[in-house]
Structure 1
Amino acid sequence: MASLVEAVLTGLASNIHVKHAATLAAASNIWRRQGADLVLCDWNLPDGYGLDLVRIIRQTSEHTPVIIISASSDREHVKQALHLGIIDFIAKPFDMATLHQRLQTVFERINTVKPAEGAILPPLDHWLEQALSEKLQLPGELSAEQVTPLLGQADSLTPSDLATRWKNETALITRLLQLANNISLKRSGNAISRPVEAISILGVEMSLNCAMAMALNIARGLTHPRLKEQAVLYQAHAEQVAAIARAMAISINLDSASCHAAGLLCRCGELALLRTLQDYIDQGGHPDENEIENILKQWGPRYGNRLKIQWQLPIPLRELIGAVHVVPSHATRKALLVMHLASLRVASRLRGPEAERLLRRAGLDQHKWLNAPDA
């Protein structure tokens, strides 16, 4: 639930930075160390109550807006919260559209979505370096119209239904994998790499809520023409690699779902970098358009590696993604060869003795893949 709230918050504007604390102690430390422009807090915390945090905040700030989230919305709870000067009380369970609307109203009131007047942006290299130390985001094109009809079908939809429907939604798939791995690693210590497994762990309802939160994220779209053009190219490349890798994997009885997911994620670093460049432009920055291609080559791999860690992707899936870009010369896993061969196929470079050698090592039909029309 905290991850969904965070997704809604970061979708309100490009310059919002969210700190998530799981306990009263952690939240108190963040407040004392750096403060906040807005505080959202659950009523019940593992080591205390949300109102305890509000009391700590009110010791040093009378006006910082605080929103309490609680499963109990009875008169006494609301009265206690209002007595401490909160500005809103959100009862659980809530839907993402309602939460988005309530938070948007609050942000307009406290005026935190506007950049500070006279603010001086750092050089672009410093901006990109700083972004690497924060939570990276991907641009997303998922619309509310794609998700809303599914909300009423939650009881009849299966994880397999959603995995099939969303198979090319890169940003959503990565978000679901991240959330599911947060749960799976704590429960069993095992990481997952298949979208259908992620949806099974989260449940259909939570997965739909996550999709709705992303659909309401108005800050994720790319508006700069050059960045938008690059994003379309990267997304198309990733989808083609994913489709061909899946077909190759199926033909030799490998895990096609993991190969497909790895293909979708093979350009995640560049996509996150484009989103960061858009944020820079939104804040008044003016990157040299002639340098954008060099920036993508220089910073894309670093952003990709950062995302693999941020999303807690399992090592085997990270290796599959890496194999798209670098030939696995000493690899014994056929799936790694499949990923690289799919990349060569999309780039129309699947020809010659080296390609034949890799196809043989992978156990793929040379005649079929060498003579197929270029993708």
Structure 2
Amino acid sequence: MNTLILEDDLLMAELLETILAGIYPRLSADIVTSVEEAGNKWQPGRYQLVICDWNLPDGSGLELVRQIRKDDREVAVLMISGRNDRESVLAAAHHGISGFVSKPFSVEMVRDRLKTILPPEQDGDGDHSDLEAMLKAACEGHFQLPTTLAPADILELMERTDPLDANQLAERWRDETGLTTRLLDVANRNSFRRSGEPVSTLSEAIRLVGTRMSLDIALGLALDNTHALSDAGLRERAEAFQHQSEDVAHYAQAMFRQLRLPANEAFTAGLLSRAGELVVLSVLQQYLAGGGSLTDERIEQALKDWSQPCGNRLKVQWRLPLELRELIGAIYFLPRGGAKQDRIAMRAAALVAQGRVAEPECQRLLRFAGLDPDDFADTADTEPEAD
């Protein structure tokens, strides 16, 4: 579903995009920050939904609404505003909006209003009968990974009288791949606009985005049921991939600490190492929900054919820093000659996590990285301990 978001607060726009992706599985969102830019983007038939703020630096969102309604009386338009007086609401209604949400708003409020003005089954998001087309679309567009977060847990954190700081939240959420990718995505969009410095760890992302906005984004993900895995077979595979990535993350973090390298970045790289597989499994779930059927052979073939291209493409779409992407890549492949110490350690961590410590490749890489293979000799039948 194509959506235009007019909001000059980029973090607020990112939150809205998170909420939207949790309702409409094949979302494509254009975020603009001015009335002029929105007017240039708008074309009849291009969008199924428009969300616009009222007060913008260069004018009023009502100007965009007027332009839209001259061309299209049917497209859903949600107005968001700090104004909540009766006159403002009536004025917005007079211009033909579909719904109105006043700031500050809750994630649940926006979700409910969106479902009212544009039910998910009416979003016109395309054909769910062509699996290859769905996988290709996931690789090329916005995609939100499923998460195991529970809405009640996030709401409890929001209501605490002693709110958690960034480090505490990062520790609590450290194994949440979907939330990590989303917060890195949001943080890097804003980080590059502000300083040009990339963000590579969950704690850095939370500090930049802010704990309250991070909690709102986490709640938006927790309420996302469009990407959840309800099929037992797909869920079992996802859990296995998640455990594999967590093992790599813990071993990589421990190795990097021994080598006095950035251990948190190593953990993030390990955690995201199976993102491609998780994306494919989520698309397969959507295919099943659309009436398709899958054999084990077709599932395995889809994972084989699409996990790497989806993972590589979406790591760019999620704006993961190049250094982080290269650490993830080293888990699977090291270029011949000249590999850096941190890349060698990441590959070694992956082999150790697979129980391949005794193999010559793993022994050689551990030594090249400056690590003692004997330190990992007893890990073949044990899982790494969380720090």
Is TM more than 0.5 here? yes
**AA matched with 1:210:** I
Structure 1's 152 and 40: CA in aligned 2 closer, same or farther, altered over 3 A? same
Instruction: Indicate the residue corresponding to 2:291 in structure 1.
Output: 284
Query: How far apart, in 2, do the equivalents of 1:29 and 1:290 lie?
Result: 47
**AA matched with 2:121:** V
Instruction: Indicate the residue corresponding to 1:248 in structure 2.
Output: 255
2:19 corresponds to 1:8: yes
Instruction: Indicate the residue corresponding to 2:225 in structure 1.
Output: 218
**AA matched with 1:144:** P
Structure 1's 366 and 16: CA in aligned 2 closer, same or farther, altered over 3 A? closer
| SS across alignment from 1:219 | coil
| Shift of residue 310, structure 1, vs aligned partner | 0.8
Q: Structure 1: where are the runs of 5+ without partners?
A: none
Structure 1's 71 and 154: CA in aligned 2 closer, same or farther, altered over 3 A? farther
Q: 2:177 aligns with which of 162, 170, 174?
A: 170
| Shift of residue 3, structure 1, vs aligned partner | 1.3
Contact 1:7 1:213 in 2 (8 A): yes
Instruction: Indicate the residue corresponding to 2:157 in structure 1.
Output: 150
Instruction: Indicate the residue corresponding to 1:98 in structure 2.
Output: 109
Instruction: Indicate the residue corresponding to 1:239 in structure 2.
Output: 246
Structure 1's 85 and 134: CA in aligned 2 closer, same or farther, altered over 3 A? same
**AA matched with 1:86:** I
Equivalent pairs counted in the alignment come to 371
Contact 2:79 2:101 in 1 (8 A): yes
Give the stretch that moved more between structures: 57-66 or 227-236.
57-66
Contact 2:21 2:143 in 1 (8 A): no
| Shift of residue 226, structure 1, vs aligned partner | 2.4
Instruction: Indicate the residue corresponding to 2:121 in structure 1.
Output: 113
Q: 1:203 aligns with which of 191, 198, 210?
A: 210
Instruction: Indicate the residue corresponding to 2:311 in structure 1.
Output: 304
Instruction: Indicate the residue corresponding to 1:57 in structure 2.
Output: 68
Contact 2:129 2:287 in 1 (8 A): no
Query: How far apart, in 2, do the equivalents of 1:21 and 1:273 lie?
Result: 30
Query: How far apart, in 1, do the equivalents of 2:363 and 2:197 lie?
Result: 36
Query: How far apart, in 2, do the equivalents of 1:80 and 1:291 lie?
Result: 54
| SS across alignment from 2:101 | strand
Q: Structure 2: where are the runs of 5+ without partners?
A: 1-11
Query: How far apart, in 1, do the equivalents of 2:33 and 2:226 lie?
Result: 25
Contact 1:41 1:67 in 2 (8 A): yes
**AA matched with 1:136:** F
Structure 1's 372 and 133: CA in aligned 2 closer, same or farther, altered over 3 A? closer
Instruction: Indicate the residue corresponding to 1:266 in structure 2.
Output: 273
Instruction: Indicate the residue corresponding to 2:54 in structure 1.
Output: 43
RMSD of the TM alignment (CA)?
2.2
Matches within 5 A, 1:18-97: 18-97=29-108
**AA matched with 2:79:** I
